[in-house]
């Protein structure tokens, strides 16, 4: 586990070199709570402030193992493979993907990068975390010079286990958890939120109450100063400098 600023900064360097973002998936009700909280919070933060959020089957396990106070992020968008038509399932945590700058790690008092989900009943956060900043590069399938998209691609499953064998026999996917004094990653680190408009449209067609989570940002007007077309031709907009897209 990385517990001092200097070492955490060394973890951030290879992520920035590779143009890697941090990712957090959620449901629309969670996003509304996040805006009320002022960032991407821990489960404990949400519970203590009595904010509405989607319950997980692992919530009780997380409390027992002491990780409900941590903020969790991934090194890749888990919903991307499904969205692109590959043999994959949708992200179980929700259709909305929040893209965050890796420098958010610098706000943490400690960072654990583990190779399996913290939801496991026998999860040991300090014991399962990487301990050397140099190991961060080993999480990826290609070297930094392989090209922007390849350089960002993390290892999963057998390839991840093989890269760290025999130390992590249960490795499945990299997952980072942060201890933050504020209990949340501030919205200043948010780069983009994809899937928001799509989810609102689905809820509207189903007759669900209209949701406008961007109002929680403190600006009641949707900015059009930077509105434009995304790479796929979908209409994009910005909310106080944050891109909100209709895709995944």
Return contacts of 132-140, CB within 8 angstroms, 24+ apart: 133/2, 133/7, 133/10, 133/11, 133/13, 133/14, 135/164, 136/11, 136/14, 136/15, 137/14, 138/163, 138/164, 139/75, 139/113, 139/163, 139/174, 140/18
Residue 235 in domain = no
Q: pLDDT digits over 98-128, tens only?
A: 999 999 999 999 999 999 999 888 899 999 9
Q: What local confidence, expressed as pLDDT, does residue 121 receive?
A: 83
What pLDDT sits at residue 88? 54
Dihedral sign computed on CA atoms, order 33, 37, 38, 42: negative
Q: Which residues of the chain have pLDDT under 50?
A: 202, 204, 206, 208-248
Whole-number Å distance between alpha carbons of 174 and 159: 12
Q: Is position 70 within any domain?
A: yes
Is 199 part of a structural domain of the chain? Answer: no
Please report how the helices 196-205 and 28-37 are oriented relative to each other, as an axis angle in degrees rounded to 10.
Answer: 130
Q: Is residue 25 part of a domain?
A: yes
Q: How far apart are CA 35 and CA 49, in angstroms?
A: 13
Q: What is the domain range of residue 42?
A: 5-97+104-191
Helices (H), 90-181: 125-128, 148-151, 157-164
* Total Cβ atoms within 10 A of residue 114: 26
pLDDT of residue 191: 92
Q: How many domains does the chain have?
A: 1
Residue 243 included in any domain: no
Residue 176 confidence (pLDDT) = 97
For residue 57, the model assigns a pLDDT of 85
Q: Is residue 228 part of a domain?
A: no
Domain-located, residue 166 = yes
Q: What is the pLDDT of residue 87?
A: 56
Q: Phi then psi for 40, rounded to 5 degrees?
A: -90, 110
pTM for the model:
0.79
DSSP 44-103: HHHHHTT------TTHHHHHHHT-TTSEEEESS-TTHHHHTTSS----TT-SEEEEE-GG
HSE-CB for 17 with a 13 A CA cutoff: 14
> Is residue 150, in this structure, part of any structural domain at all?
yes
Find, among 103, 106, 95, the residue nearest to 180 by Cα.
106
């Amino acid at each position: 586990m990385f517990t001092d600023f200097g070492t955490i900064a060394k973890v951030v360097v290879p992520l920035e070199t590779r143009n890697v973002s941090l990712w957090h998936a959620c449901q629309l009700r969670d996003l509304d709570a996040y805006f009320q909280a002022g960032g991407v919070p821990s489960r404990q933060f949400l519970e203590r402030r009595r904010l509405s959020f989607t319950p997980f089957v692992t919530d009780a396990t997380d409390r027992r193992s002491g990780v409900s106070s941590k903020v969790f992020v991934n090194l890749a968008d888990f919903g991307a493979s499904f969205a692109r038509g590959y043999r994959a399932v949708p992200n179980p945590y929700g259709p909305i993907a929040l893209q965050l700058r890796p420098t958010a790690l610098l706000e943490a008092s400690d960072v654990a990068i583990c190779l399996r989900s913290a939801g496991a009943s026998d999860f040991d956060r300090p014991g399962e975390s990487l301990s050397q900043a140099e190991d961060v590069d080993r999480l990826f399938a290609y070297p930094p010079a392989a090209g922007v998209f390849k350089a960002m691609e993390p290892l999963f499953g057998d390839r991840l286990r093989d890269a760290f064998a025999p130390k992590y026999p249960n490795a499945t996917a990299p997952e980072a958890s942060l201890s933050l004094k504020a209990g949340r990653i501030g919205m200043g680190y948010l780069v983009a939120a994809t899937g928001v408009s799509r989810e609102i449209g689905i809820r509207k067609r189903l007759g669900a109450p209209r949701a406008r989570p961007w109002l929680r940002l403190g600006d009641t007007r949707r900015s059009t100063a930077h509105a434009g077309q995304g790479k796929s031709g979908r209409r994009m907009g910005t909310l106080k400098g944050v891109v909100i897209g209709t895709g995944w």
